[in-house]
Amino acid sequence: MSRFFDLVSKPAREMGGYSPNPPKQRAREFQPRLIRLDSNENPFGPSPRAIEAMRAALTTVHAYPDDDCIELRRKLATQHDLAPEQVLVTAGSTALLSLLCTTLLVPGLNAVTSERSFIVYSMAVHATGAQLIETPMRDDAFDLEAILGAIDGNTRLVFLANPDNPTGTMLDTNAVDKFLSRVPGHVVVVLDEAYYEFAKHLAASRKVAHPSSLEYVQRGASVVVLRTFSKVHGLAGLRVGYGLGPAELLTYCARMRNTFSVASVAQSAATAALDDRNYIDRVVASNTAQAEVLANGLSALGYRVVPTFANFLYCDVAEDAASFAERLLNEGVSVRPLRAWGAPNCIRVSIGTPEQNQFLLNAARKVAGRKSSVSVFRS
């Protein structure tokens, strides 16, 4: 028995941690100039306006940041036609997931989501001692009927990643409208829209109705919409996210957060990034075009690719995905095998720059027929 085993909480004993795949230190052993297409990062970096704002903010880092992120909250509220009290800024949207769980869940209660969805849902729920119920998917997408059937009197949260991570599938307006009309009043629905800008652009190009999630918030539904600056804005390293929802609920969540949790440099960069519309448009346009390039290229190699509404692809390689990813790593490109998500033959591939995507496709052609019996890492 270890020294602290009996002292720590049951969730702390039983939970596994989140491990980036592969760790950067391990990746360097394979390729000093590794192309990382494993974490859904923006390959173009931050907006020039955000970089300029960060530089200017460095002169004030001796002072604590604004704990309420007032300037950023006001700008977000104006942009989304909400009151500032309906906006809560946190250190990444994952921090807000944890706050929602801490605020609404205790042992004996539960949250519901789908299998093969964002892995942090499980971590955030189990940290409270509550139960996470994961329903089966249907055709690589959420089965909303199954989720509704799993809700009971002890359910307080439902997580809908839209689009989903890692499958990239999206629920359209009709599906979300019908679902919300049937959710009981004691349940808060979290619409996790980390990839919102990509999804909206891809949906428009395919003539699919993207849900107007803000309308649910504006009419007072028990819905919290999550957004982030980590994806389209290219600020993943600064950790800035936000939630849009009922003012009363977000006030309770705000009481549970850490003091000064969003750095002043991060607040400045996020505020400036919102104004760079040209940059955002360029990023989403490239993503839409390159999603087709990558999907066609991987499909031509015989792999099953699920149409995406995000900045990554879910791909069934019809073999052990960790071994396949290992061989790609040896060629200089990192992707995410999905065994931890219950999909041992699938990988998630972030959509990079045109040059990075061509490198990946060339590497995939090289390794397609090469098998490996030993896996260097597992997700």
Question: Which string of DSSP letters, residue by residue, matches 217-242?
Answer: HHTT-SEEEEEESSSTT--GGG--EE
> Of all residues in the chain, what percent carry a pLDDT higher than 70?
90
Residue 21 has pLDDT above 80, yes or no: no
One domain for residues 201 and 261: yes
Instruction: Decide which of 246, 276, 306 is a domain's last residue.
Output: 276
227-253 average pLDDT score: 98
Across all residues in the chain, what is the average pLDDT? 92
294 in a structural domain: yes
Report the sign of the C-alpha dihedral through residues 94, 65, 41, 85, in that order. positive
Residues 78-134 have pLDDT tens digits of: 999 999 999 999 999 999 999 999 999 999 999 999 999 999 999 999 999 999 999
The tally of domains found in the chain comes to: 2
Note the pLDDT of residue 28: 52
52 in a structural domain: yes
One domain for residues 268 and 128: yes
Residue 374 has pLDDT above 80, yes or no: no
One domain for residues 137 and 285: no
One domain for residues 182 and 320: no
164 in a structural domain: yes
2 in a structural domain: no
Give the closest residue to 36 by CA, choosing from 357, 377, 338, 339.
357
Instruction: Decide which of 257, 276, 295 is a domain's last residue.
Output: 276
372 in a structural domain: no
One domain for residues 319 and 250: no
165 in a structural domain: yes
377 in a structural domain: no
Range of the domain at 62: 48-276
Q: Assign residue 146 the CATH number of its domain.
A: 3.40.640.10
One domain for residues 23 and 52: no
375 in a structural domain: no
Give the closest residue to 223 by CA, choosing from 232, 209, 211.
211
CB of 68 within 8 A of CB of 257? no
> Of all residues in the chain, what percent carry a pLDDT higher than 90?
88
Residues 178-233 have pLDDT tens digits of: 999 999 999 999 999 999 999 999 999 999 999 999 999 999 999 999 999 999 99
Note the pLDDT of residue 334: 97
Q: Is the pTM of this model over 0.85?
A: yes
Instruction: Decide which of 230, 256, 276 is a domain's last residue.
Output: 276
Q: Which residue has the higher pLDDT, 227 or 20?
A: 227
One domain for residues 288 and 267: no
CB of 303 within 8 A of CB of 87? no
Q: Which two tokens stand for residue 103?
A: 């605020």
Rounded to the nearest 5°, which phi and psi values hold at 131? -105, 140
Give the closest residue to 350 by CA, choosing from 270, 286, 280.
286
CB of 257 within 8 A of CB of 95? yes
Q: Please name the residue that has the structure tokens 């689009």.
A: 163
Task: Write the Ramachandran bin of 351: left for phi over 0, alpha for psi from -120 to 50, otherwise beta.
Answer: beta
One domain for residues 107 and 249: yes
One domain for residues 272 and 291: no
Q: Which residues pair with 158 in a beta bridge?
A: 112, 189
One domain for residues 314 and 353: yes
Task: Write the Ramachandran bin of 59: left for phi over 0, alpha for psi from -120 to 50, otherwise beta.
Answer: alpha
Residues 298-333 have pLDDT tens digits of: 999 999 999 999 999 999 999 999 999 999 999 999
Q: Assign residue 14 the CATH number of its domain.
A: 3.90.1150.10
